[in-house]
Structure 1
Amino acid sequence: MDLHGLHVDEALEVLRSILAAKRKGRPSRNQRPYLTVITGRGNHSRRGVARLRPSIMDYLQRNNFRFTETHPGILRVMLKVNSRPT
């Protein structure tokens, strides 16, 4: 899913709806257990300060998604949510 070029609020709304749909549906044999999310690195952001990437990463952390940054500006988000530690 390519989010770069969107405003932060737009990108978060798209991400929320896609993640909800992916987690609700039954996984098929062909479906990957992760979602690739392209945020970009912030090179074209005002003053060169990335806003989208940190916002997306913060959202994922707050909602207990496991993710890794496979390349700068590209996140691999696991579709199974981590359980909260007690």
Structure 2
Amino acid sequence: MERLNERASRWKFAENNKHRAPGEVDLHDLHVKEAIAYTERAVQDARHRGDTKINLIVGKGLHSRKGVAKLRPAIKKLLETQGLVVDLDPRNSGVLIVNLDGRPTDTDSVLSVDEILSRFEYEY
């Protein structure tokens, strides 16, 4: 079952991003754990390209259970613990703008994916 879920998330991610610019990543319809993995990869790719920022489309949570966003707080927390500056796009609250030239990372405060997920009551 996990392999099928992994294949489905790879397909969904590829479909959502096939027409996106390199500095823009759509994480819609992914579970939190999957979105975190794709976010980490997107940040690494952006740094390799020399980008100074990246836009992560996380959605507003309108289709989440009870309309509560799941991706936005988890992704924001992940990136902030890595010392990155994360802001909401003023034109679209479903987009996080990540400044890759953020403050230095305090390695003692960096959380693992599992630690981040345990701090949120998410089903993934």
User: TM-score, normalised to structure 1's length?
Assistant: 0.82
Number of paired residues?
80
Does 1:52 pair with 2:71?
Answer: yes
Moved over 2 A (4+): none
Give secondary structure in 1 for the equivalent of 2:100: strand
Q: Which has more strand, going by share of residues?
A: 1
Kindly report the root-mean-square deviation, in angstroms, between the aligned alpha carbons of the 2 structures: 1.6
Residues 39 and 83 (structure 1), Cα distance of their counterparts in 2 relative to 1, 3 Å cut: same
Summarize the alignment of residues 12-31 of structure 1 with structure 2, pairs less than 5 Å apart.
Answer: 12-23=36-47, 25=48, 27=50
Identity of matched residues, %: 35
Aligned-pair CA distance for 1:67: 1.7
Matched residue SS, 2:79: helix
Normalising by structure 2, what TM-score? 0.59
- What do the CA deviations read for 1:48-74 (whole angstroms, capped 9, x no partner)? 111111101111111111121012111
In structure 1, the partner of 2:33 is 9
> Aligned-pair distance for 1:79?
1.7
* Unmatched tracts of structure 1, length 5 or more: none
Q: Which structure ranks higher in relative contact order (CA pairs < 8 Å, sequence separation ≥ 6)?
A: 1
